[in-house]
Each structure stands twice: as C-alpha cells, then as structure tokens.
C-alpha cells in the first residue's frame, strides 16, 4: 500500500468489491458507482447471459422465474463465481467511466487480508477478463485504516475492525503494515442467515434474504433502544406447516440471543487478537482505542460488545461504509 501511495504503479480506478456492495472511485471524481454486488443471468450455469446487475437486481432476489438466475459474485468476502465477477466488474467500471476501452484503465482492488493465493489469483483473473489493464490488490484493513484517517506509517500502533457483509476483519497496524490480524468469514450477512435459520427451525417459517435483512435492522434498532421486552417484530413469508403465504410476529426478546451470539464471536476474535499483540503495541492501542469501519459498524451493539470485552474505547469512523473505498482512493494518481 505504501508503494501505491508513493506513486509507484499509480492506478486510475479504485474498486471496493464487496460481498454486499461494490464502489468505484477515481482520484478526482469521488464515488462514481455504489450498487449491490448482484447479477442476474439468463440461460444455463456454464454459458448464461448477463441481463441485469447492481441495483436493478435487488428487487428480483427470490422472485425470478424460468431460466433466470441471481448470483452474488462474492461469498464471505472472496470470489465464488469468476464469470459473475468478470461480468459484474465490467458493468461497474463501464457504469463509472462510460463505454471506453477498459484495457487502458489500471485498477486497485480491495481484498480480505486473509485471502489465499488461489482466492487472490481468481480475483486478478476476473478483473483482467473484465477488460481491465494492470490490477493491484490491497488488504482491506489497511485501506480502511487510511480511509478512516489513521496515520498508518508512524511507529505507533492502531487497531481497526472492518465490519463487512461477508467478512469481519480486525488488524493491528504500525509502520505501514499489519502486525497482527484476525478475521471471521461471514459478517453482516451471517447475522441475516442466522435469523432466517432460527425462524426456519424454531417456527417452521421461511423468509427471503431481503426480509431477513429488514428483520435484522428492525431488531438491532429495538435492542439498542432497550425496548425489546415489550416490542414484537412483524414479518411475512411462507409457513412450512401450511405451505401457504403467511405473516407472523415474534418477540424481539426471543430473537435477541441470535444477535448476541453473532456479535459475541466478533468480541471473542478481538480479545484473542489482542492477546497476541506486543506490550508496546498494547500500550499504543490502550491510548488510541479501536476504530470500527464498514457497513455493520453502524450496529452499536458491536462496538458495545467489543468495549465491554476489552475495556478499551471503541469509536465508529466518519463515513464508515466508504472507508475501504476512500483508503483505496489514496493509492490513485493525482
């Protein structure tokens, strides 16, 4: 990342290719593209044709018919479908810069810090197949730290938790590199899935992905307000008992343990990471606290759980959903 920031291997575009959303930024144009990471294909799995992508597809999830397929190019933060990633990246870049020849564009793309060599190779292949020129991969915790305004090149330790939809990453950074890092594959999306699974198993009631996400948002708001004892959450889906469409209400108190279990895993990860940190870095972190970035950083319960588990000050970065994109932007030519 330091090499990019010093201007060696300058890029034209920065791409925050996320499990839930993708953002494309330029050095002077800001965020040019910000849409869900979703594709809709027509035809068979091996040779389907992309017919829609991004925002248009969100309302189509679980509503397709015939040969239409909805695909997320990434799962748990890394590539799960190279063809979908190729087509989606081409769509995102063209939506940002127009129908110009993409080979002339150099890009820097964020990637989870724990991505394997095979996962990184697959992303590079997809980007080049999409028509991009040279591509650099940058660890997302580093990019998020820069986007949050932290001075990562100083001999001073700082700690960041990037709370994404597909992966939650914690990193201790000093002198331009990650001294320690840990991650949990399955961020905000894992909480959606846990809520959906609970309703399925305990109440024999099926809900779609969008409904599970809305229930999560409603539930988190209720729990943060401290009114869960008297509030119920309403939802619609399909009953497995009758096989028919239906509606149900469920106590926020009943669903609270599902949320708490997912958040406790993040706090446990942070505690385990801090146990590996050197005394000098521990002193730095004690003074500066922990910064939260990413879309799920807005869930106040996460910060509270981490603060309770560590005794440290925990704060949410300004413009937290865009910290990775803004950090990658620093690697672009000016």
Looking up residue 233, the CATH number of its domain turns out to be 3.90.640.10
Enter the DSSP assignment of 102: G
Together in a domain, 132 and 65: yes
Question: How many H-runs (helices) and E-runs (strands) does the chain carry?
Answer: 11, 18
Domain residues for the domain of 226 are: 188-258
Which of these three, 258, 288, 312, is where a domain ends? 258
Together in a domain, 231 and 311: no
Lowest mean pLDDT among 94-98, 143-147, 160-164: 94-98
Q: Give residue 187's pLDDT.
A: 84
Residue 7 has pLDDT above 60, yes or no: no
Q: What is the CATH number of the domain that holds 118?
A: 3.30.420.40
**Per-residue pLDDT reduced to its tens digit, 117-138:** 999 999 999 999 998 988 999 9
Strands (E), 37-75: 39-42, 49-53, 68-71, 74-75
**Does any domain span residue 11?**
yes
The strand pairing partners of 178, in sequence order, are 173
In percent, how much of the chain has pLDDT > 90?
75
Measured CA to CA, the distance from residue 38 to residue 83 in angstroms comes to 12
**Per-residue pLDDT reduced to its tens digit, 186-223:** 788 999 999 999 999 999 999 999 999 999 999 999 98
Residue pair 141/162 in contact by the 8 Å Cβ criterion: yes
Nearest to 143 by CA among 119, 171, 182: 171
Q: Which two tokens stand for residue 285?
A: 């972190």
Which of these three, 229, 258, 287, is where a domain ends? 258
Nearest to 142 by CA among 110, 117, 165, 116: 110
Q: Give residue 254's pLDDT.
A: 93
Rounded to 5 degrees, φ, ψ at 305 are -65, -40
**Number of Cα atoms under 13 Å in the Cβ half of residue 82:** 13
Average pLDDT over residues 43-69: 87
Together in a domain, 162 and 309: yes
pLDDT band at residue 3 under the 50/70/90 scheme: low
How would you classify residue 97: left for phi > 0, otherwise alpha for psi between -120 and 50, otherwise beta? alpha
Which of these three, 226, 258, 290, is where a domain ends? 258
Q: What is the mean pLDDT of the chain?
A: 90
Residue pair 138/331 in contact by the 8 Å Cβ criterion: yes
Measured CA to CA, the distance from residue 273 to residue 171 in angstroms comes to 8
**Does any domain span residue 334?**
no
Together in a domain, 210 and 304: no
The label of the residue with tokens 């996962």 reads: 119
Together in a domain, 49 and 163: no
Lowest mean pLDDT among 66-75, 98-107, 229-238, 269-278: 98-107
Using a 10 angstrom Cβ sphere, with 0-12 exposed, 13-18 middle and 19 or more buried, the burial of residue 304 is: middle
CA Rg value for the chain: 21
Together in a domain, 107 and 164: no
Q: Give residue 103's pLDDT.
A: 67
pLDDT band at residue 47 under the 50/70/90 scheme: low
Measured CA to CA, the distance from residue 334 to residue 329 in angstroms comes to 10
Together in a domain, 59 and 104: yes
**Per-residue pLDDT reduced to its tens digit, 159-184:** 999 999 999 999 999 999 999 999 99
Residue 44 has pLDDT above 80, yes or no: no
Together in a domain, 26 and 90: yes
Q: Give residue 229's pLDDT.
A: 67
More confident residue, 98 or 175: 175
34 by DSSP, 3-state: which?
strand
Enter the DSSP assignment of 243: S
Q: Give residue 46's pLDDT.
A: 65
Together in a domain, 64 and 164: no
Q: For helices 252-274 and 209-225, give the axis angle rounded to 10 degrees.
A: 80
Q: Give residue 173's pLDDT.
A: 97
**Does any domain span residue 170?**
yes
**Per-residue pLDDT reduced to its tens digit, 225-249:** 877 767 999 999 999 999 999 999 9
How would you classify residue 40: left for phi > 0, otherwise alpha for psi between -120 and 50, otherwise beta? beta
Q: Give residue 334's pLDDT.
A: 45
What's the total number of domains in the chain? 3
Q: Give residue 133's pLDDT.
A: 86
Together in a domain, 203 and 176: no
């Amino acid at each position: 990342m330091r090499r990019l920031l010093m201007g060696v291997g300058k890029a034209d575009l920065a791409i925050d290719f996320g499990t839930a959303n993708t953002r494309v930024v330029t050095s002077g144009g800001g965020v040019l593209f910000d849409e869900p990471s979703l594709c809709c294909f027509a035809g068979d799995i091996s040779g389907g044709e992309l017919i829609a992508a991004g925002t248009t597809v969100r309302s189509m999830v679980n509503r397709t018919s015939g040969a239409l397929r909805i695909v997320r190019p990434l799962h748990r933060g890394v590539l799960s479908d190279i063809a979908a990633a190729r087509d989606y990246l081409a769509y995102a870049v063209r939506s940002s810069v127009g129908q110009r020849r993409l080979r002339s564009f150099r890009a820097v793309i964020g990637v989870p810090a724990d991505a394997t060599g095979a996962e990184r190779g697959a992303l590079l292949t997809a980007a080049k197949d999409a028509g991009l020129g040279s591509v650099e991969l940058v660890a997302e915790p580093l990019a998020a730290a820069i986007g949050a305004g932290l001075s990562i090149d100083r001999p001073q330790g700082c700690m960041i938790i990037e709370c994404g939809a597909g992966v939650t990453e914690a990193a201790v950074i000093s002198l331009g590199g990650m001294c320690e890092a840990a991650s949990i594959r399955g961020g905000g999306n894992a909480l959606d899935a846990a809520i959906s699974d609970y309703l399925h198993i305990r109440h024999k009631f099926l809900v779609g992905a969008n409904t599970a996400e809305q229930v999560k948002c409603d539930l988190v708001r209720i729990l943060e307000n401290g009114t869960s004892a008297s509030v119920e959450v309403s939802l619609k889906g399909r009953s497995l008992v009758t096989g028919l469409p239906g509606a149900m209400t469920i106590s926020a108190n009943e669903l609270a343990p599902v949320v708490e279990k997912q958040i406790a895993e993040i706090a446990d990860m942070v505690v385990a990471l801090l146990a590996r940190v050197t005394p000098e870095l521990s002193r730095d972190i004690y003074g500066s606290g922990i910064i939260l970035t990413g879309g799920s950083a807005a869930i106040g319960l996460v910060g509270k759980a981490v603060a309770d588990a560590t005794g440290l000050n925990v704060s949410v970065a300004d413009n937290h959903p865009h910290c990775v994109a803004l950090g990658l932007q620093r690697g672009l030519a000016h």
